[in-house]
């Protein structure tokens, strides 16, 4: 087992990195990689998540191919919803489908509070399987309660989260009961991942961008804070990612995560003025830049890196997950820019 405590990633999460910024990218083990597609042709997405040896193999693919400075466990934020009994499948071209979406307070009250160590034991097994194969930190992750609740209500992806927002506004009490149940299971899930050996975790609140500031504080931030406080005693750092994180950055900084992962709609150097130097910043290249020629990629990457060159808590990432049709050569060029300067 490799000691990664002095790695670039862990130093940056402690805001003590004086070398080049570490690099990893969201969805780095994904459809843009031919090696991933070869496995996916033979297995369903959930089968890949549920099989520890497969999940471990997929987790390692981008580390071997590109030399990223951190690995993130191959899984999905909705395995927690599956564990809570709403049914989950993935449809080609459509994405996740919740088979029994929630539509009433009675549905919330009937929702089981599962024993996560049993229901999601395959995740812990995947972590234990992959750890000896890595010489870089391993990130675990989960969905934030608001985002998981949104999927459970909408039945899948939604552009406007209309059902979720209507429920939230018309019956906030039952909506909070739903968030509470998800938060209990999610905290148990994070603790299980940490006990299994992850070095850091990232919490994805992918749909928080639909919320106004007051709603964000009540229905998202309060539950993010609860998760952070719940794992504080473990000493494992947590990164927060929200769509719209540039808008909510100051509120996110107030709950003191190890790092905030930012979208590309903001100048990171300017945002540092409202985020204390004790909180690392991660991001925030527009994923579309990777469709450009290598000279343009280099120019945009170096502009970003140059602006953050004196920041001891900077982690290079994209402002969102990498697109499935991103050219592999573009990813190689990206990593070379960071490592070679």
pLDDT, residue 230, reads: 98
Q: What is the mean pLDDT of residues 172-199?
A: 99
pLDDT digits (tens, 9 = 90+) for 83-121: 999 999 999 888 999 999 999 999 999 999 999 999 999
Percent of the chain beyond pLDDT 70? 100
Q: What is the mean pLDDT of residues 262-284?
A: 93
Choosing from 14, 20, 40, 217, which is the catalytic residue? 40
31 carries an active-site annotation? yes
Check whether 305 has a pLDDT greater than 80.
yes
151 carries an active-site annotation? yes
Choosing from 36, 151, 223, 314, which is the catalytic residue? 151
pLDDT, residue 1, reads: 67
Distance between CA atoms of 25 and 161, rounded to whole angstroms? 26
pLDDT, residue 286, reads: 97
H helical segments located in the chain: 8-13, 34-40, 45-50, 52-66, 79-83, 105-110, 116-119, 121-130, 145-154, 162-170, 172-196, 213-216, 222-231, 245-254, 268-271, 294-307, 328-340
pLDDT digits (tens, 9 = 90+) for 187-199: 999 999 999 999 9
Check whether 71 has a pLDDT greater than 80.
yes
pLDDT, residue 92, reads: 84
Q: What is the mean pLDDT of residues 9-21?
A: 96
pLDDT, residue 294, reads: 97
Check whether 136 has a pLDDT greater than 80.
yes
Choosing from 14, 20, 43, 76, which is the catalytic residue? 76
Choosing from 14, 31, 226, 312, which is the catalytic residue? 31
pLDDT, residue 18, reads: 86
Check whether 135 has a pLDDT greater than 70.
yes
170 carries an active-site annotation? no
Percent of the chain beyond pLDDT 90? 92
CATH label, 8-340, candidates 3.20.20.70, 3.30.980.10, 3.20.20.210, 1.20.1280.50? 3.20.20.210
Check whether 245 has a pLDDT greater than 90.
no
Domain chopping of the chain, boundaries: 8-340
pLDDT, residue 247, reads: 85
**Average pLDDT across the chain, whole number:** 96
Range scoring the smallest mean pLDDT among 27-31, 128-132, 245-249, 333-337? 245-249
Check whether 72 has a pLDDT greater than 80.
yes
pTM beyond 0.85: the answer is yes
- Length of the chain, please? 341
Check whether 341 has a pLDDT greater than 80.
no
303 carries an active-site annotation? no
């Amino acid at each position: 087992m490799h000691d990664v405590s002095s790695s670039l990633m862990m130093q940056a999460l402690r805001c003590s990195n004086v070398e080049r910024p570490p690099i990893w990218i969201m969805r780095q083990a994904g459809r843009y990689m031919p090696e991933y597609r070869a496995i996916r042709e033979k297995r369903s997405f959930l089968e890949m998540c549920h099989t520890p040896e497969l999940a471990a193999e997929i987790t390692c693919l981008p580390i071997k191919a590109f030399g990223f400075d951190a690995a993130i466990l191959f899984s999905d934020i909705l395995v927690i919803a599956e564990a809570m009994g709403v049914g989950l499948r993935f449809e080609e071209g459509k994405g996740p489908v919740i088979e029994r979406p929630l539509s009433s307070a009675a549905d919330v009250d009937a929702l089981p509070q599962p024993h996560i160590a049993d229901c999601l034991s395959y995740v812990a097994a995947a972590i234990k399987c992959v750890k000896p194969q890595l010489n870089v930190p391993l990130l675990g992750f989960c969905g934030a309660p608001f985002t998981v609740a949104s999927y459970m209500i909408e039945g899948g992806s939604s552009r406007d989260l209309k059902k979720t927002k209507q429920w939230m506004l018309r019956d906030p009490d039952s909506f909070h009961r739903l968030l509470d149940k998800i938060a209990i299971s999610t905290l148990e899930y994070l603790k299980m991942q940490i006990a299994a050996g992850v070095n850091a975790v990232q919490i994805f609140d992918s749909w928080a961008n639909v919320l106004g500031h007051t709603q964000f504080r009540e229905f998202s931030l309060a539950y993010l804070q609860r998760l952070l406080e719940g794992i504080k005693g473990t000493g494992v750092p947590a990164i927060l990612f929200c769509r719209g994180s540039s808008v909510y950055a100051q509120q996110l900084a107030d709950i003191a995560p190890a790092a905030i992962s930012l979208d590309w709609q903001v100048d990171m150097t300017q945002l540092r003025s409202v985020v204390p130097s004790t909180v690392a910043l991660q991001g925030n290249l527009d994923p579309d830049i990777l469709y450009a020629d290598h000279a343009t990629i280099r120019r945009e990457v170096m502009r970003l890196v140059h602006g953050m060159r004196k920041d001891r808590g900077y982690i290079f990432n994209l402002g969102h997950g990498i697109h499935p049709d991103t050219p592999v050569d573009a990813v190689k060029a990206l990593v070379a820019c960071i490592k070679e300067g």
